[in-house]
Amino acid sequence: MKHIAIIGNGIAGITTARHIRKLSDYKITVISAESKYFFSRTALMYVYMGHMKFEHTQPYENWFWEKNNIDLKEGFVTTINTAEKKLIFADESTLTYDDLIIATGSKPNKFGWPGQDLEGVQGLYSKQDLELLEVNAPNNKVCKRAVIVGGGLIGVELAEMLHTRKIPVTFLVRDKDFWGSVLPTGDANLISRHVKSHHVDLRLETELKEIIGDENGRVKSVITSSGEEILCDMVGLTAGVSPAIDFIKNSEIDTGKGVKVNKYLETNIPNIYAIGDCAEQLEPTGLRKPVEAVWYTGRMMGEVVAQTICGNKTAYNPGIWFNSAKFFDIEYQTYGWVWAKPKEYEAHFSWEHPNGEKRITFAYHKTTNAILGVNTFGIRLDHQTFDKWISEEKNIDFVVSNLEEANFDPEFFRSHFKAIKKAFQHQLQLA
């Protein structure tokens, strides 16, 4: 019987295992050094905040895996012997396979900062990171101040988590506004104001220079790019993530930033595939990046590679870009492309509510007026509607005039559409 080995039990690896099981009776082994059972990584913050227990982050009961004939192996793979189709583990045990799927996910970035390996310095990605956070920042007596480095989505999650335990936070962000490299100025400014409103000491245009340790090898302060020393008991490194592929780089498998794959998620080695955060697309779809560390692309890749392994060779096509997140109390959605610095062909129209916590920004083509993308803050729009409008290159006038069709929460947000349309008409008159 064909044996499928999957390294990694995140959303990509587990989706693959589930779909292969639906389509075949192949032997499946899922390997993980992080946890035995699959859990929802995006829910880790709610465990720390007391909204749920860790076991509540597991979508499947523990008996699910045996019932579905999916073997779970705990262990860390150190070497892939592609010639012998064999995995070698840290304890020197081995496992042979017929097809191999690499779904090892990401690891927090470190940029060689002095002191980055001191006790009290950590990222926020894994189950082990969550456990370490309970040691480093259990309360505001043990952790009198935390410093977070890097203004991304993980950083704001960590700030919110610490905020719930009344731990003071200083947030170092190198951009002029929070997430200013991703969001247009007005959008980023709204998020900056909102983060500050939660009593976070947000330091914009400020970078980490060095982390200082005490005589016991534990963090006691940081030095910023301006030379200021900030006393702290914990440092959260949240300056993005990168593919966790160090153990692969000495193998015959081609790697760049991630494991290089074609549109069928195949590597250069027959019968070896890579999916999820660790995969680097040689032919990215449209304007998408070669490496995308978002959960839904991992799920899509898992479904696609399962089809291919089970005899229905299928290309990966994620379609129109979309994503969502939460900045404290403000929900964020994006569909299509709204660039922080508009491209030469791109125009923007924005509307913001007087309360400063609801905003929408449209991007459209200057010449054709075709809708290119939309960002929303505090206003929910329907994914399928905007996916359709962007795919069909609907005119921006049509989109604004028909916003009610894309309304996700009729009870709460319909009242804003009149104001949005009025502001758009005013912009047209000024143009």
Residue 420 is part of which domain span?
322-430
Show which of 239, 260, 294 is a domain's final residue. Answer: 239
Same domain for 402 and 424?
yes
Element (H, E) at 222: strand 219-224
Domain count, the chain: 3
Same domain for 127 and 231?
yes
Question: b/e string for 205-216 if b means 16 or more Cβ within 10 A?
Answer: ebbbbebbbeee
pTM tops 0.85, yes or no:
yes
| Residue 205, domain member (yes or no) | yes
Identify each DSSP E strand in 225-264 by its residue range: 229-231, 234-237, 241-243, 259-261
| Residue 399, domain member (yes or no) | yes
Rounded CA separation 253/272 (Å): 9
Q: Do residues 166 and 155 make contact, with C-beta atoms less than 8 angstroms apart?
A: no
| Residue 57, domain member (yes or no) | yes
Same domain for 8 and 72?
yes
Show which of 213, 239, 265 is a domain's final residue. Answer: 239
| Residue 113, domain member (yes or no) | no
Half-sphere exposure of 420 (CA within 13 A, CB side): 25
* % helix, strand, coil for the chain, step of 5: 30, 30, 40
Same domain for 336 and 420?
yes
| Residue 317, domain member (yes or no) | no
Same domain for 213 and 260?
no
Quickly tell me which residue has 């335990």 as its tokens. 165
- In angstroms and rounded to an integer, the radius of gyration of the C-alpha atoms of the chain is 23
Show which of 204, 239, 274 is a domain's final residue. Answer: 239
| Residue 314, domain member (yes or no) | no
Q: Do residues 86 and 271 make contact, with C-beta atoms less than 8 angstroms apart?
A: no
Q: Do residues 407 and 414 make contact, with C-beta atoms less than 8 angstroms apart?
A: yes
The CATH number for 357's domain is 3.30.390.30
Rounded CA separation 208/206 (Å): 7
* DSSP string of 66-113, one letter each residue: HHTTEEEEE--EEEEETTTTEEEETTS-EEE-SEEEE---EEE-----
Tell me the average confidence (pLDDT) per consecutive run of 10 residues in the chain, 431 residues long: 96 98 98 94 93 94 97 97 97 97 94 95 94 97 97 92 97 93 96 96 96 97 97 95 92 97 98 97 94 94 98 96 94 96 96 93 97 95 94 95 83 71 76 56
The CATH number for 178's domain is 3.50.50.60
- pLDDT number for residue 302: 98
* Residue 353 DSSP symbol: -
Same domain for 100 and 248?
yes
Same domain for 233 and 187?
yes
Q: Do residues 71 and 28 make contact, with C-beta atoms less than 8 angstroms apart?
A: yes
- pLDDT number for residue 78: 97
Identify each DSSP E strand in 337-411 by its residue range: 346-352, 359-365, 371-377
- pLDDT number for residue 14: 98
Half-sphere exposure of 254 (CA within 13 A, CB side): 12
Rounded CA separation 426/345 (Å): 22
- pLDDT number for residue 423: 83
